[in-house]
Each structure stands twice: as C-alpha cells, then as structure tokens.
Structure 1
Amino acid sequence: MSIQALAHQIARVAVIDGEHTTAFAPLCLYRSSARTDPTPCIYGLGLAVVAQGHKQVVAGEQVLNYGPGQSLLVSADLPVIGQIDQADVAHPFLCAYLALDARALLQMAAELDLPPAGREQVPRALSLNVIDTSLIEAVIRLVQLLEEPELVNTLAPLVQQEIMARLLVGPHGPNLRHIVAGGTPSHQVAQAMAWLRLNYKNDFPIDELAARAHMSPSTFRLHFRGLTGMSPLQYQKQLRLQEARQLMMNEALDAGTTAARVGYESASQFSRDYSRLFGEPPQRDIRRMRDPSASRAAAPVHRLAM
C-alpha cells in the first residue's frame, strides 16, 4: 500500500513523461509511459525509489534489476547504462530520486554514534535493498510536501534529514558509511573519482591516481574496480564520451572538434569508442537524437536519469 501511495503522489506531480525538477532542489521525479532502450548516463550520490514499473542498471560488470519495493542507493558519481524495461501508458514507470550530501551524511553518522565502517570491506557504489515501511513513508511525505509550496522550504530539509538517518541505520548503512567516511579505501577511491570528474580530459599514469588515493597501483585498481565495476581507464573513457555527446547536442560541434575538446588525440578512435557506447557513430547518433520522430531512447543524457 505504501508503494501504491508513492506512485499516486508521483503521478499527481509528474503528469507528463520526462524528468521533473521540483520546488525542493534535491528531489527529482521521473515518469515514462513506455519502455526505453539502454541509455548511458551518470548517477550521482543519492537515493532512487521506484514506485511503479521496472528498470535495469548496468555499471561496468555490475547489473542490477529493481522495481517497486526496492531502493537503489548511489554512493559515488558513476557512469551507468539504464533501461526502463517495464512501463506502458496504463502503468507508467514512476520514480523519485533524492540527492544526498556526503558531508551531511558523515556528520549525521557521527551524531548517531554509529560503528565505523570496516576497512576490509569493498562496497559497491550501487547497492540495492528492500525498502522498509518507515523509509518509504518518509519519501511519500517529501513528495506530498510539493503540494504545499508555503511549507516546502521549511519542512522538506527536515524530511531529507530523516531519510538520511534511516539510510545510515538501515541496510544501506554499512556501504554508505564506508564510502563517505574519511580514511577508508572506498572513500579514498571516491576522492580519486571526484578528481577524475574534473580532469577527465587529461591523460594520467595510474601511479598518479593511486598516489592521490594513498595506495599502491595494484591495490588502487582492485578497490576502484570493486567500487565501480570498471577500471580507472574505462571510467575516464565513459566520462569523456558522455561529455562529448552533450557538447555535440548543445553546441552543435562536429565529431573531430568534440574529440579534441574531451581529450582524444585520435578522431577515429573517438568514433570507435563512441559507437561502442552509444550504438551509432557520433553524427548519426546526434541526428537521431534531434529527430522528433526518433526512438524514445534518443533523449539527451541528463546529469542523472533515474
């Protein structure tokens, strides 16, 4: 019943298909009345709760399938390929996503006096769990507040804090604390990932990244793959290609210019990598995305497309 109530609330706000920003900036709602093809995008630190429909998410070697009654926690910025595989007009895919703040989580974990994360653990940046009644009810209250604009700015941050507290003490807690807490291997890798997000255009030796994480190269590779499901080079490549797609869509750049802008020395290598990720060469993919009659999978890649 709680999941059905959440679906009802999301549908009241998200009345048409697409991504819906809300009066409370960390909260986004999503609706799709049809299945989609696999779509590359980047997930950020946050919680996704599907109220209706079903989705598959692939991050490197990790494949997750989730639907109503499950919560997906994203603990670090991660390139993924997402696909809505259950949705129709009568039963659209409905999802709520709440962005989280790492510093606030860390401070809350200290206030709750939770045990430190074990250093030996290698968590995934994506974790899937059954959502408990208390957490789903908090998410419902947050979405309901959107219909009371005079209260959103005052009450929504309080409900967000409740959700973060419930995440920290619930099944997601150990993974979450391990990644946001300073000194753990996963936190050190997450810091290196953040540096990569800012410097993805530049080539780098693995030794430099490992040094930033205060690890040996072999240990760094192990923890990076454990956290993300991919190697540092694969992670950087996906960042470059997704930025390239946005540049060609938003600035009408040609493939050669775009390749150089995102750090490729070879335009032909860029086209090969682009085709492997997006399924078509750059110009053909962009034409398809701009064509109003194109398939629904050709929507622009967003910062986060849960």
Structure 2
Amino acid sequence: MNDDLVQHLDIALRHAPPGLTATPIPRMDLCVGQGSGNQAPCLYRSMICFILQGSKRIAINDQLLSYDREHYLISALDLPLTGQILDAEGGRPYVAVSLVLDPALLAQLAASMPPVRECAPKGVGIAINPMTAALRDTVLRLLSLLDTPVDIPVLGPMIERELLYRLLQGPQGRLLRQIAQPEGALGSIRRAVAWIRDHANSRLRIDALCEASGMSRASLHRHFQAMTGLSPVQYQKLLRLQQARQLLLAGEHRAADVAFAVGYESASQFSREYARQFGAPPARDVRKIRQAIGNPIRAALD
C-alpha cells in the first residue's frame, strides 16, 4: 500500500466511527465496517463508490459483483441489493467513500466537453471499472478536505467537478451522460424507480408507473428489466423485504406486524417470500444474524 493511501486511510478513520457517516462535504459519506460472513440488504443510490481498504461483494438479481480499492463502482439509479463487506488482510476494517451523483452537474459538465469515444452500455445500471491513478489522486484530495473544513465550500465543488469530469472521460462516460438526460430511457426508469420507492407499501399500479415514467407497458418492462435486473413487481418486493429485515433487526417487532407495515396483506405470504429471499423465515434469520455479530447491524452498508 502506498504512502498516500495510508495517509488518507488515516484521515477517513479519524473522521468516521464504525458505520455510515455523513461528511461535511455535500453528498459524500464514509463507511467503516468489519467483514461479515452474512449478506445484508442495502440500497445503492445513484452514486459512485471508492473502496480505500477491504472489499465488497454485491448481488443484483442473479449477478454477483465484487470490487476493492483497485476498482470503483458506479450506480446509475437506486438499486436494492444484498451486500457482504470483507476485511482487508490482517483483519483491518473495510473503509469506503461514496458520493451521490448530481444529474445537473453531470449535464453541465457533459455539455462543456468535446465528444468522446464511448463503449456500448451493458444494460444494467451498475458498473465496476478499474481505478486509475488520476481518479485515485482526485478522490484522495477530496477526502483530505475533511482535515481543513474551512476549505470545503470553495475547493469541494472544484474537486467534485474534476472527479466527475474524469469519470465522464472513462469507460462509463455514456452511462453517466444518460443520468444527465431525463428524456432518455434511463431517465424514464429513474422516474419509475422513484415512484415505486414513494409507493413501496402500496399495491403496485402499472398504469400509474407508466404515467410516471412516460413509457408504454412493453417499453417500461423491457427497459426496467435491462437496467435493474428485475421486473417492477420484483423490485418492489425486494424493497419491501429489505425494509422488513431492517425493521426486524432494529427492534422486537413481530413478523406479522412488520409484514403489514411494509405492505403485505398476508403474513404467511410474507414469511414464504422472506425465507425465499434470505434463506430462512424471519425469526430464524434475525436470530442467526444477531448471534453472528452480537448486536443488531446497521441498516446501511454504503
């Protein structure tokens, strides 16, 4: 590990206790955690994530992705996933920095840049790419502002622009440009995802979802599946189950009460779908996780 990375790991660990920490830099969070043998639900927002130490595995539908400090992740829309964080060598903690993407800033930067050659999009709205020296330097300079908070209002936006500029020049430039274009297919699916999240505990109405996204039924299903790996119904179901698991881990709620709280009309259906998703019925799953870690886990991993 080079000296710069050691220095900035020290900065991150001084400014972030275990768990998820919102920093004074707008939309930038730090996550510090210990590795676990269990996968836990997490909601990836439209963001970029850089790991400073350790690694992480995430599952989106049937696709398994892994990344570490040699790679960065871009999520183009809110995605309900399951994730597992892994320690670095010697049991050192997982440390990551994430930045929620600003579509307006991306649009502004993209409009000012000359045309670039871009690879074809892969469909799913999440991608992992190799880290570059220029990106690492930019991320570490942004992180170093935590030691000089008086500089954040002036230098923070400048370094963020540089970071996004470099990402727009990279292999996922096309994906980032789509985030900045509300009239495109990705913009429509982002609106559909927002509608589902706002109505997660209500019955899914496809007609309302088509109206919110501006798409026909056929187009909505095709693009939604391509970009999230899920159908709209599956997406809502996974959101509900993740919310239910977090509620169960956070307190002593009865499974039946949680089922109705997240929108299920049948406690038995909830128990069946929960076991299918997480490998055990609610009570057994929560007991297993608590025994493994000694206390309720934090709901957010990134």
Give TM-score scaled by structure 1 length: 0.86
Tell me if structure 2 keeps the 8 A contact 1:34–1:88: no
Equivalent residue number for residue 294 of structure 1: 292
Tell me if structure 1 keeps the 8 A contact 2:58–2:84: yes
Equivalent residue number for residue 266 of structure 2: 266
The one-letter code matched in structure 2 to 1:246 is Q
Equivalent residue number for residue 41 of structure 1: 42
TM-superposed CA distance for 1:205, in Å, is 3.8
Instruction: Give per-residue Cα distances to partners, 1:248-298, cap 9 Å, x unaligned.
Output: 445643222221121111111111222233333323444555x4x533796
Pairing 1:115-154 to 2, within 5 Å after superposition: 123-154=123-154
Tell me if structure 2 keeps the 8 A contact 1:145–1:156: yes
Equivalent residue number for residue 5 of structure 2: 6
Equivalent residue number for residue 239 of structure 1: 239
Pairing 1:1-306 to 2, within 5 Å after superposition: 5-14=4-13, 17-112=18-113, 114=115, 123-250=123-250, 252-287=252-287, 291=290, 294-295=292-293, 299-302=297-300, 305-306=301-302
Tell me if structure 1 keeps the 8 A contact 2:118–2:173: no
Alignment length (residue pairs): 300
Tell me if structure 2 keeps the 8 A contact 1:76–1:125: yes
CA distance in structure 2 between the aligned counterparts of 1:149 and 1:143, rounded to whole angstroms: 11
Greater shift in the superposed pair: 158-167 or 188-197 = 158-167
Q: Percent identity, please.
A: 33
The one-letter code matched in structure 2 to 1:263 is G
CA distance in structure 1 between the aligned counterparts of 2:228 and 2:20, rounded to whole angstroms: 25
Instruction: Give per-residue Cα distances to partners, 1:192-246, cap 9 Å, x unaligned.
Output: 1111110111212434423433333222212111101111111101111222233
Tell me if structure 2 keeps the 8 A contact 1:23–1:149: yes
TM-superposed CA distance for 1:138, in Å, is 0.8
Greater shift in the superposed pair: 188-197 or 127-136 = 127-136
Tell me if structure 1 keeps the 8 A contact 2:129–2:171: yes
Consecutive unaligned residues in structure 1, runs of 5 or more: none
TM-superposed CA distance for 1:121, in Å, is 5.5
Change (3 A) 1:76 1:202: same
Tell me if structure 2 keeps the 8 A contact 1:71–1:128: yes
The one-letter code matched in structure 2 to 1:71 is Y
Tell me if structure 1 keeps the 8 A contact 2:77–2:190: yes
Tell me if structure 1 keeps the 8 A contact 2:54–2:95: yes
Tell me if structure 1 keeps the 8 A contact 2:248–2:286: yes
CA distance in structure 2 between the aligned counterparts of 1:267 and 1:117, rounded to whole angstroms: 48
Tell me if structure 2 keeps the 8 A contact 1:77–1:193: yes
Tell me if structure 1 keeps the 8 A contact 2:196–2:204: no
CA distance in structure 2 between the aligned counterparts of 1:177 and 1:301, rounded to whole angstroms: 31
Change (3 A) 1:112 1:57: same
Tell me if structure 1 keeps the 8 A contact 2:21–2:29: yes
TM-superposed CA distance for 1:111, in Å, is 3.2
The one-letter code matched in structure 2 to 1:145 is L
CA distance in structure 1 between the aligned counterparts of 2:106 and 2:243, rounded to whole angstroms: 29
Tell me if structure 2 keeps the 8 A contact 1:278–1:285: yes
CA distance in structure 1 between the aligned counterparts of 2:294 and 2:271, rounded to whole angstroms: 23
Change (3 A) 1:94 1:250: closer
Root-mean-square deviation over aligned CA pairs: 2.8
CA distance in structure 1 between the aligned counterparts of 2:117 and 2:61, rounded to whole angstroms: 28
Tell me if structure 2 keeps the 8 A contact 1:33–1:87: no
Tell me if structure 2 keeps the 8 A contact 1:11–1:94: no
TM-superposed CA distance for 1:33, in Å, is 4.1
The one-letter code matched in structure 1 to 2:76 is S
Tell me if structure 1 keeps the 8 A contact 2:51–2:96: yes
Consecutive unaligned residues in structure 2, runs of 5 or more: none
CA distance in structure 1 between the aligned counterparts of 2:40 and 2:282, rounded to whole angstroms: 15
Tell me if structure 1 keeps the 8 A contact 2:50–2:71: yes
SS at structure 2 position matched to 1:294: helix
SS at structure 2 position matched to 1:215: coil
Give TM-score scaled by structure 2 length: 0.87
Tell me if structure 2 keeps the 8 A contact 1:75–1:126: yes
CA distance in structure 2 between the aligned counterparts of 1:257 and 1:91, rounded to whole angstroms: 39
CA distance in structure 2 between the aligned counterparts of 1:209 and 1:202, rounded to whole angstroms: 12
